[in-house]
Amino acid sequence: MQFKHLKHTEFTSSRLIYGCMRITGENSEADRKKGKAAIYSAIEAGYNHFDHADIYGGGECESLFGEILKESPSLRDDILITSKAGIRPKKKHSDYSPTRYDFSKQYILESVNGSLGRLGVEQLDLFMLHRPDFLMNVHEVAETFAILKASGKVKHFGVSNFKPSQVESLRSVMSMPLVANQVEINIHNIDTLIDGTLDQCQQHKITPIAWCPLGGVAYPAWGNTFTSEDEQRIEIELKLQAQKYQCQPWQVILAWLLLHPAGIFPIIGSTTPSRIAAAKVALDLQYSREDWYRLFEARNGETVP
Ligand SMILES: NC(=O)c1ccc[n+]([C@@H]2O[C@H](COP(=O)([O-])OP(=O)(O)OC[C@H]3O[C@@H](n4cnc5c(N)ncnc54)[C@H](OP(=O)(O)O)[C@@H]3O)[C@@H](O)[C@H]2O)c1
């Protein structure tokens, strides 16, 4: 595993983060067992940074992780735990309230308490706002962050799925730095390459964390718009590069993300131990600029101007 300093913090994070969104599956006994095995295999492979959210598995993912921390209490000192909040799912069909985003002080403070309780820890290393609340009051968010920091419940703060203008707006009123922006980046969704997100990350030393890094390749991305011809073109180029680098096509995709100078940290969400370990191969590929552009061209179906 490779490790890298997380700017604006005292932390060193594994270059691949393990994503805990799928660790409870359908929440059957067998799925939970599989999820635990996945976590242990991630630890074994050297991952020291684990990504959560209050809503993953309806809270069960954090609870399962809490069970592991109970089994191995000394683990807490060796790992970084990120969690997120701000999405309020509709609970039942009969609920009056729709699924919504909520960055109100009361809701965020309650959510963080919930995460700490389920994980069985006193502090989150990194807390992120999950998806931009259309009703976000940046002053209220800054005040909430300050309360969480002062109480010791959260060490550092970040955002997720924020556009550059939203990051800028929040940064302008915060008394502490924004450490990370967790966004979807993959061969299908390249928004962050062109909407200023990754430029802003470089400018302000905000760490970009890529969720769904294999979307569009290992499995269809959310809202996949690739045609079968697009997919074929990408597959041909990936196969060629996989041969050249003596690895698997999906590892090339991770290398494609890792080459970006903003220093993207991909989150690996597989629950298959062999894949969790094999993702590390991407860290050692001497991936070239030429191949980056070849894959970009295959993705776009045309050369850059
Ligand atoms: N901030 C946000 O809004 C947001 C949104 C989504 C996710 N996330 C975070 O990002 C993490 C990763 O997201 P993700 O789980 O969607 O991403 P992912 O790692 O790109 O994909 C995981 C899925 O792809 C399959 N897969 C992985 N590698 C594969 C391969 N080589 N070949 C075939 N299938 C493969 C996995 O199946 P197996 O399990 O069977 O291997 C799993 O179903 C999540 O766990 C969560 O922590 C954040």
Determine which residue's CA is closest to atom 43 belonging to ligand 1.
270
**156/136 Cα distance (integer angstroms):** 19
Assess if residue 103 is contained within a domain: yes
Please report, to the nearest 10 degrees, the dihedral formed by the alpha carbons of residues 280, 283, 284, 286 taken in order. 150
| pLDDT of res. 139 | 98
Is there an atom of ligand 1 within 6 Å of 159 CB?
A: no
Assess if residue 12 is contained within a domain: yes
**209/180 Cα distance (integer angstroms):** 7
Assess if residue 305 is contained within a domain: no
| pLDDT of res. 215 | 87
* Residue 33 CB coordination number (10 Å): 12
- Which of 18, 40, 47, 56 is flagged as catalytic? 56
* 135: helix, strand or coil: coil
| pLDDT of res. 253 | 97
Assess if residue 129 is contained within a domain: yes
Determine which residue's CA is closest to atom 29 belonging to ligand 1.
218
| pLDDT of res. 95 | 81
Instruction: Identify which of 13, 17, 22 to mutate to test ligand 1's pocket (most ligand atoms within 8 A of the CB).
Output: 22
Contact 41, 277 (CB under 8 A): yes
Strand ranges for 108-177 from DSSP E: 124-129, 154-160
CATH of the domain at 49: 3.20.20.100
219 is catalytic: no
DSSP state of 98: P
- Please tell me the total count of domains within the chain: 1
Burial zone of 83 (CB within 10 Å; 0-12 exposed, 13-18 middle, 19+ buried): buried
Can you give the residue range of the structural domain that contains 218? Answer: 3-300
**127/155 Cα distance (integer angstroms):** 8
| pLDDT of res. 42 | 98
> 240: CA distance to ligand 1 center in Å?
24
Contact 37, 3 (CB under 8 A): no
Residue length of the chain: 305
Contact 258, 201 (CB under 8 A): no
Q: How many CA atoms lie within 13 A of 139 on its CB side?
A: 0
**86/140 Cα distance (integer angstroms):** 13
Q: Which two tokens stand for residue 123?
A: 């502090």
Assess if residue 62 is contained within a domain: yes
What does each of the 305 residues of the chain score in pLDDT, given as a tens digit?
999 999 999 999 999 999 999 999 999 999 999 999 999 999 999 999 999 999 999 999 999 999 999 999 999 999 999 999 999 998 877 788 899 999 999 999 999 999 999 999 999 999 999 999 999 999 999 999 999 999 999 999 999 999 999 999 999 999 999 999 999 999 999 999 999 999 999 999 999 999 999 987 777 777 788 899 999 999 999 999 999 999 999 999 999 999 999 999 999 999 999 999 999 999 999 999 999 999 999 999 999 99
Determine which residue's CA is closest to atom 32 belonging to ligand 1.
218
Residue of 204, 198, 208 whose CA lies nearest to 266: 208
| pLDDT of res. 225 | 85
All residues at 6 or more sequence positions from 253 whose CB lies less than 8 Å from its CB, including other chains:
186, 187, 213, 214, 217, 218, 238, 282
| pLDDT of res. 224 | 81
Q: Which two tokens stand for residue 42?
A: 């991630």
Max distance between CA atoms of the chain, in angstroms, equals: 56
> 211: CA distance to ligand 1 center in Å?
7
